[in-house]
Structure 1
Amino acid sequence: MGLFGGQLSNVVEWQEQRDDVIFWKWHNDEIKRGSKLIIRPGQDAIFMFNGKIEGVFTDEGSFDIESEIVPFLSTLKGFKFGFNSGMRAEVLFINTREFTVKWGTKNAISLQAPGLPGGMPVRAFGNFQFKVADYQALIDKIAGIKDDYRVADVQTRVLSVVDQLLMKWISREGKDIFNLQANAAEISGGICTDLDMQMQLLGIGITGFQIQSVSYPEEVQEMQKKAAAQSMMGDLGRYQQMAMADALTKPGGNAAGQTAASMAGMQMGMMMGHQMAEQMAGQTKQGQSAAAGAGPKFCPNCGTPVNGAKFCSNCGQKLI
């Protein structure tokens, strides 16, 4: 028996688990007496018989199938292994991790826009997350006819509907199509809900959906840049101050920077000279006013002290 024992037993395991595989089906002619089930981290093992789930095992470790697995199977719990015969069953290994996948619009989607009969062509891209949510639905729809199922399969299915969902949720409640990034969280939430409802039919749950970027035609992007520049130029004085400060802090980068610094220096010099001229003019006016308002201390006719009076109190001489 010891010489031939290895021929009557096998190991049921998913040894080469890959990050891009959602499930993998182990199947053999039959599971022999003495066989082991090995469940690794990030795996669940599902025993199936005639396409139906017999038992789901989630604990990690190595288990004797006859003593530790069969007693928990629905219709096979009373199965007895014979000397030359084994149990005919399939084992489906599930990758339990959450997958993150990139998405992007296949073609530019046209959104209704005022003055644009053909609409505004917009592209978008981002990420979505999913994981296996319903084992029975997965078996009924996919695992019953496939030996494995890959992330690329889910990605293809999502990309086939994401353009329509984007149009639906962007158009909802009159979103500003020129500022879609501001409403990205709300749009993403709506798409995630709709997408999850569709994928749950296959046993896949969509756990997250994000819009990372929305791109417009180059002409629209140029218009947005010009509009931003015009908005900044609205306060011309502030713009000049910012430009002068920037030029002064970066005088040696290149010829254009040196020219800007020179011009800024000239403007500041002119401003300082203008301020000094105004101050000198003010001082001159004050001196003239003071000189014009001061009278003689003595009468030039009789010598009587007058202390700035307009007429001499002694002889009546007009002084100012």
Structure 2
Amino acid sequence: MGLFSGQFSNVVEWDEFREDMIFWKWSNKEIKKGSKLIIRPGQDAIFMFNGRIEGIFKDDGDYDIESQIIPFLSTLKGFKFGFNSGMRAEVLFVNTKEFQIRWGTRAPINIPNPQLPGGLPIRGNGTLTFKVNDYVALIDKIAGVKQSYCVEDVKERIVAVLDQLLMKWITKEGKDIFNLMANAYDISKGIKTDLDMELINTGMTIMNFTIGSFNYPENIQKMIEKNASHSMVGDVNRYSQISMVDGMTSGNMKGGGAASDMASMMMGMQMANQMMNNINQNNQNTASAPSSGAKPNFCPNCGAKTGEGNFCSNCGAKLV
């Protein structure tokens, strides 16, 4: 029997393992007497017979199929290995880790806008993660007809519907299309829910969906940046003054020396006027400021000691 065991010994393992592979099926082979099952970390092994799940094994390690696996299978507990026969079964190895996908819109998404008849073309990108969570659904919808399944297969399915979902959640509730990153969390949350419903019948679930950035056409992006700079400065007149000073100091002002001198003179006059206005405003504020109301102990006019009244009893000068 020692010769028999060596002759028919077999190893059931995921010998084509790839990090981007979601599952791989060990099939069309006969499990012989003395066969071993090897489960590596991050893998689950599912025994199937006639398309039906017989057992799921999740602990990594080496197992003797006859003594350690067969007794725990549902309908094959009474199976006995014969001298010239083995067991025809399939073993589905599943990668249990979370997979990450970098996504991006295939083409610009035209977001409706009343100011832009053709819509505003926007691109987006980011990442998402998913994992297998339902082995029954996975086998029923995918593994039953496929030998293996990779991340790229899932990415194709997701990208096919992603543009529509972005359009749906960007236009939902009238979001500001010129500042979409302010609403990125709500948009991501909605898309994650819809994508999860798209994949749930295949036995997979979306763990996380994030938006890295939204990209606008170059002319629109420049307009957004210009509006942002104006809002940061606050005073458009001051922004114009700063721009003029920058032009003179950098030497980029066109028109030669005369133009530069004229601009400098105008700038000086504007700054002088601004200073005079500030001084006049300060004087007005000082003049109109109410007095503190404190009454002196002695009259500032004649030096007589003051009493309870608001006028000096000696010379009649106003005290308050």
**TM norm structure 2:** 0.74
Q: Any conservation in 1 of the 2:48–2:91 contact (CA below 8 Å)?
A: yes
Which structure is larger by alpha-carbon Rg, 1 or 2?
1
- Corresponding position of 2:120: 120
* Superposed displacement of residue 96, structure 1: 0.3
Q: Any conservation in 2 of the 1:35–1:65 contact (CA below 8 Å)?
A: yes
% identical equivalent positions: 63
Structure 1 pair 27–214 and aligned structure 2 pair: CA distance change class (3 A): same
For structure 1, the 5+ residue unaligned runs are: 257-262, 279-320
- Corresponding position of 2:231: 231
* Superposed displacement of residue 19, structure 1: 0.7
| 1: CA distance, partners of 2:87 / 2:50 | 12
For structure 2, the 5+ residue unaligned runs are: 253-260, 277-320
Deviations 1:57-111 (A, max 9, x none): 0001111111111111111111111111111100000000000101111111111
- Corresponding position of 1:29: 29
- Corresponding position of 2:190: 190
- Corresponding position of 1:163: 163
| 2: CA distance, partners of 1:170 / 1:238 | 36
* Superposed displacement of residue 29, structure 1: 2.9
* Superposed displacement of residue 229, structure 1: 3.0
- Corresponding position of 1:305: none
Q: Any conservation in 1 of the 2:230–2:239 contact (CA below 8 Å)?
A: no
Q: Any conservation in 1 of the 2:31–2:88 contact (CA below 8 Å)?
A: yes
Deviations 1:287-317 (A, max 9, x none): xxxxxxxxxxxxxxxxxxxxxxxxxxxxxxx
* Superposed displacement of residue 232, structure 1: 3.9
| 2: CA distance, partners of 1:96 / 1:229 | 49
- Corresponding position of 1:6: 6
* Superposed displacement of residue 239, structure 1: 5.6
| 1: CA distance, partners of 2:29 / 2:14 | 17
| 1: CA distance, partners of 2:3 / 2:122 | 70
Answer with 89-98 or 77-86: which moved more: 77-86
| 1: CA distance, partners of 2:30 / 2:12 | 11
Deviations 1:150-208 (A, max 9, x none): 00000000000001111111111111111110110111011101110110111111111
Q: Any conservation in 2 of the 1:232–1:239 contact (CA below 8 Å)?
A: no
Q: Does 1:71 align with 2:75?
A: no
| 2: CA distance, partners of 1:223 / 1:74 | 67
Aligned-partner residue type, residue 51 of structure 1: G
Q: Any conservation in 2 of the 1:8–1:84 contact (CA below 8 Å)?
A: no
Aligned-partner residue type, residue 227 of structure 1: N
Q: Any conservation in 2 of the 1:34–1:65 contact (CA below 8 Å)?
A: yes
Structure 1 pair 173–240 and aligned structure 2 pair: CA distance change class (3 A): closer
Q: Any conservation in 2 of the 1:38–1:63 contact (CA below 8 Å)?
A: yes
Structure 1 pair 255–33 and aligned structure 2 pair: CA distance change class (3 A): farther
RMSD (Å) for aligned C-alpha atoms: 2.8
Q: Any idea what SS the aligned residue of 2:44 has?
A: strand
Q: Any conservation in 2 of the 1:13–1:38 contact (CA below 8 Å)?
A: yes
Q: Any conservation in 2 of the 1:21–1:149 contact (CA below 8 Å)?
A: yes
Structure 1 pair 21–84 and aligned structure 2 pair: CA distance change class (3 A): same
* Superposed displacement of residue 30, structure 1: 1.2
| 2: CA distance, partners of 1:5 / 1:157 | 46
* Superposed displacement of residue 115, structure 1: 1.7
Q: Does 1:18 align with 2:18?
A: yes
Q: Does 1:135 align with 2:130?
A: no
| 1: CA distance, partners of 2:69 / 2:233 | 76
| 2: CA distance, partners of 1:108 / 1:135 | 37
- Equivalent runs, 1:252-291 vs 2, <5 Å: none
- Corresponding position of 2:105: 105
Aligned-partner residue type, residue 73 of structure 1: L
Where in structure 1 do 4 or more consecutive aligned residues deviate above 4 Å? 236-244
| 2: CA distance, partners of 1:81 / 1:123 | 60
| 2: CA distance, partners of 1:224 / 1:25 | 53
